[in-house]
Structure 1
Amino acid sequence: MAQNMQFQNYTIKLRIWKTWSVWPRFCTLQGRTSRRGCDVMKWKGIYSHRIFTQLVVFTLLISLIPTLSITSFLFYKLENMVKTELSNSYRQMTSQYIKNIDEKLTQYQYSLDVIADNTVILEALVDETKSPYIKGEQISSEVTKSLLLDRQKEIRNCMLYSDMDEYPVYGKRASMVKEAGHEEWFLRERAVKEGSFSYISSAGNIPVLSFVKNMENVNIHNYEKKQLGFLKLDLYMELVFKPANTDHEKDSSYDVIVYSDKNELLYSSAPRKDSLLDAWLNTEDSAELLDGFTVKHENLKESSLNVLLLFDNHQLAVKQQTVRQMVLPILLGVTLLIIFWAWLYSRNFSARIGCLVQKFHKAETGDLNIYGPIAGNDEVSELDRQFSHMLKKLNTLIQKNYIRELENKEAQLKNLQLQINPHFLYNTLETISSIAAVKQVFDICDICQKLGEIFRYNLGKNYGEFVTVAQELGHVQNYIFIIKKRYGNRFEVFYNISLDTDQVMTLRFILQPIIENAILHGLVKQTTTGTLELSVWEEENCLMIRVEDDGIGMDIQKVEELNRSINVADNLTKTGRNIGIRNVNQRIKLACGDKYGITVKSTLHYGSQFDIRLPLIRKGEKTDE
């Protein structure tokens, strides 16, 4: 009720202040307008229209003509640039394509040279002790190893044909010359000579590019060469000459036609354009422009093949259209932008006044939020700043009263909760322990005793923020005793203490959450008996406490996430399995400094390690408590 009355008083004051603040400035504006009336009369014809219309017309006159001129010049330059870049691109693509083909064919020829000089193959061809099939498998294996494994898809076949009838050989990649007589390519005169040739395979009408390499054995005594046979490597022309970007784009940027010296069409990446080969061959000057295509011709001398690269000139029209589509929207956008800014500027002043009036109306309804300030340094912006300052002070006062009321109610609730006598809990535990003793359930007696000590440690008024290490260890031992009663012999606990725990101080309640985390999330989840080791020692004038277990552990990602989360203060309000460790770490940093805290290390399936670094405080020394 008091807050409502106070708010109503402030609302009345706000209305009074607004009235007296706006009125003098309104009068001032009216006075300035009347004094300048005579000067404006002579411009009556110009100013007879709304300022919005005046600004739009003036802006279009001074900006539209230069804009159109600059746009026309830019469009002309961009079209020429597109033509030049496209022509250069065709030359570069042709050069790169032919270079790749030459490198590819050179590598295949080198593979044949390696196979022809393979001593294992040469010795196997004249070996009369082994079976023809054993020699065939040995030769086939050597041939396969010498091929380009990264281009297996392009290789149709690679065969060694032996001319040594007295030493027959048969295998996957080895056979006799007389067996090759049944092949269609063998009837060609040049098939048994070194070099290359191409043909259309009758099996599937597949164009094939073949390389032939003679197999010769040199007599080291008289240096005479003996013909042992020849190697034949078949390549799929479709895969060898396929445009490089076919695998990455839906449509290739160019097409390829391959034909022989006899003008025989061998391969075409676009069968619908095969007629262009005849048209190009019939032209006398071999023009680059042909039926809407740019033609680039190259000759592969080593393989006696000719290559045509066809670039569709439609790309030029597309790019020119793209330039138009890019320039015209820019021109339209600039025009609209000019109109928009003229409209925005002409409406700016009235909009600022309207914004201020709207703030007055919101304040009258009880909305005391401060919205965005009105930009500028004139009277309107000054009035807005003063009004916002008043709202801020008024809102702060109301918020303070509201928070104070909430704090009072919360304090009253806590006082009611604290009125419960802790001795009631101790007496209840004593009663449970007595009943258990009568019933001879001594485990319950022990649990009640340990639980009572935990309550005294938690609720005891004689303890401060800092306690001795011995007292903190005693609290942990009571907790471990109760936990072991629950889980039995699922884990063992060892203590490694290397200092006088009665003379060294530590923060209270920092070990139990970490011990609980190690047991519940590390040890009891494994099937074997685990080990928990608690170590306390002095290091570089610091108190070091380590909790180490051999439980299930954590992977690297979880360890990094845990170390990051426990060191971020903003996460204190979040819930989760690590909230206890996070709270302990933040308590240490708040009480002792940022250089102290908890560090977590863990390895999956090997356990976890929690290192706590605290300042070394002797008993009797002054703390910041």
Structure 2
Amino acid sequence: MLRNLFTNRSIKRSMIVFVAVIVLIPMVTTGIYFYAVVSSILSNQVLNKLNDFTNETNKLIHSQFESTSNLFFNLINNKDITENISHLNKDSVQPANQLLIRDTLQKGVQHNLFFNYAWESGLINSIFIFNADEKNYFYLRYDSLKLINTENYSELVRKYRNQNSRFEIIPPTAVNPTIFYIRNFYDENASLKGTIVLDINESIISKTYEGINQYKGSQGMIFNNDGIVVSATDKTMLGKKAPDVMLTKKMTGAGKQIKIDNQKFWIAAKEIKGYDLTSLIVVPEKSVFLDLNKSIRNYLYMIALLVIIFVVIGILYSSHVIRHIKDLIEKMEKVQQGNYNARMGGYKEIELIRLSNIFNKMINRIDYLFNEVYNNQLLIKEAELKSLQAQINPHFLFNVLLSIGWNAKMSKNDTIYKMVSSLSELLQASIYTDSNQTTTIREEMKYVEFYLYLQKERFGDKFTIQVDIDQSVMDYSLPKLCIQPIVENAIVHGLENKLTQGNLFISAYEKCGMLAIEIADDGVGFDTAALDLEGNHKAASKTYDKNHTHIGLVNVNKRMKFMYGDKYEIAVHSEQGKGTTVSIRIPAYKGGSQIVSGHDCR
């Protein structure tokens, strides 16, 4: 049923489908091309923009951490701070003096905070300065109204001092979104004088990623060498480990595409030098192509609308065309019923006018031929009768030859008997041979021997015969009577007119699955320019001889091409005064099966 749907389709349906396809193919192709080009451009733009934004963000974040480090160095280079911290390290300091020292420390710190970017911008929330034994400390907070748990800071300092690192950046958590910058400072003898803890406002750093908010679902984050998130636009990530796919070293550098939970993302990362941190930006691919997908969806709606419009037009136009085809079918059915007076009317369309004229002429011709059929049938019957009568003549001839042969044998004239028998065999082979009939080389050579016997009796020793046929091909098939006519042509046109003794060569062999047969003579030869193996005699040629049309060669050549195809034909090579060679190349068959040669035919 499904097969019939595609094979037995109506013209109307075909026209509708054709119109729909004609509309769909260019528009869909254009849409695909448009999507591919625009998505490629958008991808390149996003990559370039992502890389540029990553570089700019990296510079800004680096400058924020640099300003934090600069604040640290400004504090330790202030003598009021370093000297008073040293006094706090002494156990002999009286409480009253401690208040004085703290007051001096506050003035020193405040002096360093005048016009300081990190402090003025709110990047630094508070400053803690611990002495060497962690018993005394000083702090100053940006928002003085908020309470501080100093014990937490003391714990951070103890952990940091145990690690002996140059400085430490401690990630925040979702509960306490503060980045801690901790660093020791020393006296001229490299002895520990104290530790400074700077509270960095994580929200100030994460604001540097605001530029990627144009892409829905985008994220920016900073993580340390352990993969712990130090700052992020997604606050739930603070203090947690970033996904492993983002931590690979291959992610650092120009923008790349990755998959996370079967979703594609554009990602760019860059190391924040000097702080063992990495800045990372992740942009979902679907948010990049959001507007493009909307445009493609609208484009598909437009295609669907156009297809509907053109299908309606196709239905209307096909109905107009089908009406005329139905008219033609109606007239043809009348003719089928025997009404040869049915005729098609006139039309406006050129094609239908031609169809009408041709149909009407055809009906007139059929009517004429129908009236002639009866007379033609009588003529055919008469011709068949004459053909049957003509078949009596060969039978009569064979009977006469048979009688002559038996009389010669009874008279003990073996020569006449053999000549008559050979002639009878040749006549039987030529008259009762179908043009498509095949025989073996062995049988074909018997006909050749009959013919050569007759010619030897006629010419005596005028020519010699050399036969070189590979015994392995004696049972190969070939068209019946294809060698004997060529042998006859060689004797009649080549050797008969030669003044001296001539030679006739017959050879056959198989090579590469092909049966090769050659008949050559060293007779007078002829001009091959006058030879037309198709049977169209070149009467205009100067060398054309109406008495020597080589009909035997033409006949064999036609039968070869008819049985094996146009590419299989005889080849004739002849030189006047030197002789003629006729070559036959046909597929090798034995017993109805084609021979596959074992020779190396490369």
| TM-score bin, normalised by smaller chain | 0.3 to 0.5
What TM-score do the two structures reach when normalised by structure 2? Answer: 0.36
What is the TM-score with the length of structure 1 in the denominator?
0.34
Structure number, greater radius of gyration = 2
